[in-house]
């Protein structure tokens, strides 16, 4: 039985890991987390995807309290602007398109209607997409039976406050926090396992299992154990981000229930609305524009006044060859980073924690557990990477060198296959365990203007008039469901944000 677990790093990854281990492992395990106030966290991970709710629920976190402590808003998806063509806009919303009939996905029915006879775009049958367009949000739990409740939600929150919140939670559950810089890492000369850490104050912390949550530097997995990084930047070339926070223009400004991703000349700009401010950032490649140009673009595209100094973050998209090696597991940025276009990082942290718990080692460290963990994590990273590549590659844009590169670059075979399959048949290939499943791929494939040539052959059993009538009903049901929703600000105020106004005043200061 593993007794002593040591986590290095107190960013989102470190505190999520500490909380989950404290919640799920036997009380006899000692969990120590080392962090240093002198080494800044990244802390810009503000947008999430719906799986985070399972993580919070498993900890038993009260959603209203968590939302008000982290200035969180509800997120129904991401609005992509200028991606396939300049002037385009579509939502990747967390919900289904229409309703399946006889086990046939709705979009096949929509595809079967002649282009000239279609009176609605596919996204008009997606409740969270239409709700996003109108800034509406109703706090409904998913219900497969009701058209108006076939959607999921996630959050947009202040990542620093989330780490603080979990830090408090984990320490209440018995996690020991140590403040200090890890200066030295010792290993067993016989088997290379990590044995302990020495802090700058001379304290030595020994352990059985070490979790590396030290961020991009990968203090244990890379600097100590020498595990290489697989660089994927030839497929995802963005490698810089300028991040800043900006104020809402007024107390009653509408807070959208979505993250905005607006494509620019050499990357894209995010706008993430929180209760009291927005988080903004320009993600770009410095092979195509300079850092100064990246900063100017960011400031030109923010809507309110900047309320702090813009911060430059440098990164390379990719992952470690192995996230688990000997008695060290890398979770968070130390294990890999996919640029934030689809808000996957926190979900990958969660995925790694859940897999580690499932394959939790004993002191024998049977390599089969390590192998399975690494195999599954590689799948998760690659599936998410492929989904991101789709956004860049399936574009018609030829107005800048960056977009020409993305449009014409060679992509992994799996991406080619998925695009080709959809184009030729209308079917989406995915596994149920993927982070992104059919409706996620459909939103982006259609949004990037890929329209299939064919549809499910079983549709031929339906008369075209019958299909048109079904579509009319579903379009109306979608509209009715959204019309009945309050605006997002209203839901927030009533649910979790007694402090919306004072938070706003504070952010202004
Ligand atoms: C531009 C950008 C935008 C992003 N946007 C999103 C998003 O919208 N959604 C999302 O899910 N994710 C996003 N992410 C990713 C997200 O920020 C990270 O996944 C998340 O913050 C986890 O970071 P971390 O805890 O691994 O590392 P960090 O936040 O870097 O934390 C590292 C910790 O290690 C400690 N440390 C390091 N070295 C030592 C040492 N020697 N001794 C002691 N302590 C040490 C530091 O003090 C710190 O506490 C984004 C990332 C970037 C770069």
CA of 43 to the centre of ligand 1 (A): 6
Find the length of the chain.
Answer: 509
- Say if residue 495's pLDDT is above 70: yes
Q: What is the mean predicted confidence (pLDDT) over 26-52? A: 93
Give, using CA atoms, the residue closest to atom 19 of ligand 1: 345
| 75 is an active site residue | yes
pLDDT in tens, 396-412: 999 999 999 999 999 99
pLDDT in tens, 248-259: 988 789 999 999
> Is the CB of 213 within 6 Å of ligand 1?
yes
Could you say which of 3.40.50.450, 3.50.50.60, 3.40.50.300, 3.10.105.10 is the CATH number of the domain covering 4-46+158-230+321-370?
3.50.50.60
> Is the CB of 11 within 6 Å of ligand 1?
yes
Give, using CA atoms, the residue closest to atom 7 of ligand 1: 45
> Is the CB of 158 within 6 Å of ligand 1?
no
Helix, strand, or coil (residue 290): coil
> Is the CB of 281 within 6 Å of ligand 1?
yes
Please give the angle made by the CA atoms of 93, 281 and 416, to the nearest 5 degrees.
Answer: 50
Listed in sequence order, the residues at least 6 apart from 290 whose beta carbon sits closer than 8 Å to its beta carbon are none
Spatial contact of 330 and 218, defined as CB atoms under 8 Å apart? yes
Q: What is the mean predicted confidence (pLDDT) over 452-461? A: 96
Residue 499: the pLDDT is: 56
Q: What is the mean predicted confidence (pLDDT) over 446-466? A: 96
Give the single-character DSSP code of 257.
Answer: S
- Say if residue 498's pLDDT is above 80: no
Residue 146: the pLDDT is: 87
Please give the model's pTM, rounded to 2 decimal places: 0.96
> Is the CB of 340 within 6 Å of ligand 1?
yes
Give, using CA atoms, the residue closest to atom 1 of ligand 1: 241
Active-site residue (options: 75, 178, 322, 380): 75
Q: Which of 387, 381, 374 is nearest to 414 (CA)?
A: 387
Give, using CA atoms, the residue closest to atom 16 of ligand 1: 45
Residue 503: the pLDDT is: 58
DSSP string, 328-393: EEE-GGGTEE--GGG--HHHHHHHHHHHHHHT---TT--HHHHHHHHHHHHHHHHHHHHHHHHHHH
DSSP string, 143-173: -TT-GGG-B--EEE--HHHHHHHHHHHHHHT
pLDDT in tens, 301-351: 999 999 999 999 999 999 999 999 999 999 999 999 999 999 999 999 999
- Say if residue 217's pLDDT is above 60: yes
Spatial contact of 15 and 41, defined as CB atoms under 8 Å apart? no
Band (190; pLDDT cuts 50, 70, 90): very high
> Is the CB of 343 within 6 Å of ligand 1?
yes
Residue 117: the pLDDT is: 87
């Amino acid at each position: 039985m593993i007794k002593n677990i040591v986590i290095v790093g107190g960013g989102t990854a470190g505190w999520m890991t500490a909380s989950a281990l404290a919640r799920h492992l036997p009380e006899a395990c000692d969990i120590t987390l080392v962090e240093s106030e002198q080494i800044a966290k990244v802390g810009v991970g503000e947008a999430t995807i719906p799986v985070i709710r399972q993580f919070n629920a498993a900890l038993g976190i009260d959603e209203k309290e968590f939302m008000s402590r982290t200035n969180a808003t509800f997120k129904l998806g991401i609005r992509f602007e200028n991606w396939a063509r300049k002037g385009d806009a579509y939502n990747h919303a967390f919900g289904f398109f229409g309703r399946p009939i006889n086990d046939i996905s709705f979009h096949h029915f929509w595809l079967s209607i002649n282009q000239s006879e279609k009176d609605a775009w596919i996204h008009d049958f997606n409740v969270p997409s239409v709700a996003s367009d109108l800034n509406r949000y109703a706090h409904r739990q998913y219900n497969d039976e009701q058209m108006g409740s076939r959607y999921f939600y996630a959050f947009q929150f202040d990542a620093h406050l989330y780490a603080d919140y979990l830090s408090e939670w984990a320490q209440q559950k018995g996690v020991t926090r140590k403040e200090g810089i890890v200066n030295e890492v010792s290993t067993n000369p016989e088997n290379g396992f990590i044995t302990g850490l020495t802090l700058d104050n001379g304290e030595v912390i020994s352990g059985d299992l070490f979790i590396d949550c030290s961020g991009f530097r990968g203090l244990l997995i890379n600097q100590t154990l020498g595990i290489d990084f697989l660089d994927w930047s030839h497929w995802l070339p963005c490698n810089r981000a300028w991040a800043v926070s900006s104020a809402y223009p007024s107390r009653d400004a509408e807070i959208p229930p979505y993250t905005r991703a607006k494509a620019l000349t050499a990357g894209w700009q995010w706008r993430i609305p929180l209760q009291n401010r927005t988080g903004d950032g320009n993600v770009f490649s410095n092979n195509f524009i300079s850092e100064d140009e990246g900063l100017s673009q960011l400031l030109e595209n923010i809507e309110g006044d900047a309320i702090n100094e813009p911060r430059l973050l440098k990164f390379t998209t990719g992952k470690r060859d192995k996230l688990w090696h000997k008695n060290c597991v890398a979770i968070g940025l130390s294990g890999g980073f996919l640029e934030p276009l689809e808000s996957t990082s926190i979900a990958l942290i969660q995925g790694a924690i859940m897999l580690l718990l499932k394959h939790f080692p004993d002191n024998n460290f049977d390599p089969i557990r390590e192998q399975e963990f690494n195999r599954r994590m590689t799948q998760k990273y690659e599936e998410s990477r492929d989904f991101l590549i789709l956004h860049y590659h399936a574009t018609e844009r030829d107005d800048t060198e960056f977009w020409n590169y993305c449009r014409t670059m060679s992509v992994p075979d799996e991406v080619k296959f998925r695009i080709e399959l959809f184009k030729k048949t209308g079917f989406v290939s995915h596994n149920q365990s993927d982070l992104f499943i059919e409706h996620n791929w459909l939103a982006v494939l259609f949004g990037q203007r890929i329209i299939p040539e064919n549809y499910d052959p079983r549709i031929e059993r339906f008369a075209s008039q019958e299909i048109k009538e079904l579509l009319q009903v579903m379009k109306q049901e979608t509209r009715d469901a959204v019309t009945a929703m309050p605006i997002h600000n209203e839901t927030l105020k009533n649910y979790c944000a007694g402090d919306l106004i004072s938070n706003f005043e504070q952010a202004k200061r």
